[in-house]
Amino acid sequence: MRRTAALILIGNEILSGRTRDDNIQFLATNLGELGIPLREIRVIPDVRETIVKTVVELRARYDEVFTTGGIGPTHDDITGPCVAEAFGVPWEFHRPTFDMLQEQFGADFNAARQRMAKLPRGAVPIPNPVSRAPGYSIGNVHVMAGVPRIMRAMFNELAPSLKRGAPVFSRTWYTTSLFEGTIADGLEAIQTQFPDLDIGSYPFHRDDGRRGVALVAKGQDVPDLEKAAQAIHDLIKEKGGVPVEGEPPP
């Protein structure tokens, strides 16, 4: 079964260049392994209308939507009320979360921290083993923290409950002795022969001067994948290159 996912990164820090993204590759890899491959990623600012519109649009288009960022205690953490608005439900105190955080913070459980106990009505918390304030799932939308350590912990709590699709397998050959343009025509012929696979060509250039191209076949049909991988191997040899299995070294 084909299942699809989208990811929304909410917050200004990646758009401004202040922070380098550290969540995309983790989620892309893990969702691929669950058979729910990412089909689209959006990075959007902390702007109410943008968040609401993006959640509404993507949750209609993909099986699962994951968001990161904007669920902390500060004024720029507006993901919660926006997701509530996208679902047309109130954003309100979630009693078990309120009680848990009250116990954690004691006298320091101020108004700002109490915001973290508010969820869209009907949301199911995603436990946060790092700093306690939870994420949550509502419908097909899964709201997680932006801090990578916390996001990963939340995702690991959430993953067992996600409905898996057919896993996507891949086979890769690379060569440092040929250029992309030399093998392009042969590669297109392989793609034509196996229309249900994704055949990709990824040139690489290392700072020390090493360069070459990685050829990747991906798909859910393992016998076809093996045949395509063999054809890619043979193409590299036929063009006078040396095929090496796997990803090129960094």
228 to 247: interface string for a second copy, x by CB under 8 A:
-------------------x
The one segment of 92-100, 135-143, 155-163, 180-188 that binds a second copy by CB under 8 A: 180-188
Reported in sequence order, the residue ranges of 117-250 that DSSP labels E, i.e. its strands, are 118-120, 124-128, 132-138, 141-144, 169-175, 198-205, 211-219, 244-245
Q: Closest separation between CB of residue 244 and a second copy, Å?
A: 16
**Taking CB under 8 A as the rule, does residue 28 contact a second copy?**
yes
Q: Closest separation between CB of residue 109 and a second copy, Å?
A: 9
Q: Which of 44, 38, 4 minimizes the C-alpha distance to 24?
A: 38
Do β-strands 5-10 and 64-68 pair in parallel, antiparallel, or remain unpaired?
parallel
Q: Closest separation between CB of residue 131 and a second copy, Å?
A: 8
**Taking CB under 8 A as the rule, does residue 95 contact a second copy?**
no
**Taking CB under 8 A as the rule, does residue 177 contact a second copy?**
no
- Binding residue (CB under 8 A) for a second copy from 113, 132, 227, 239: 113
Helix (H) or strand (E) holding 33, with range, is helix 24-33
**Taking CB under 8 A as the rule, does residue 198 contact a second copy?**
yes
The one segment of 23-31, 86-94, 121-129, 159-167 that binds a second copy by CB under 8 A: 23-31
Q: Closest separation between CB of residue 36 and a second copy, Å?
A: 12
Q: Is the CB of residue 192 less than 8 Å from the CB of residue 150? A: no
- Binding residue (CB under 8 A) for a second copy from 185, 226, 238, 245: 185
Query: What span, in angstroms and rounded, lies between the C-alpha atoms of 81 and 64?
Result: 20
Nearer to a second copy, 224 or 247 (CB): 247
Q: How far is CA 154 from CA 18, 51, 126, 176, in A?
A: 24, 21, 6, 40
Q: Count residues contacting a second copy (CB under 8 A)?
A: 70
- Binding residue (CB under 8 A) for a second copy from 53, 121, 132, 218: 218
SS3 43: strand
- Of residues 126 through 155, those in contact with a second copy by CB under 8 A are 130, 147, 149-150
Q: Label residue 87 exposed, middle or buried (CB < 10 Å: 0-12, 13-18, 19+).
A: buried
Q: How far is CA 6 from CA 65, 105, 237, in A?
A: 5, 34, 38
Query: What span, in angstroms and rounded, lies between the C-alpha atoms of 195 and 189?
Result: 10
28, two tokens: 């892309």
Query: What span, in angstroms and rounded, lies between the C-alpha atoms of 246 and 174?
Result: 7
Binding residues for a second copy (CB under 8 A): 11-21, 24-32, 37-46, 50, 72-77, 105, 108, 110-113, 115-116, 130, 147, 149-150, 168, 170, 180-182, 184-185, 187-188, 191, 198-205, 216, 218, 247
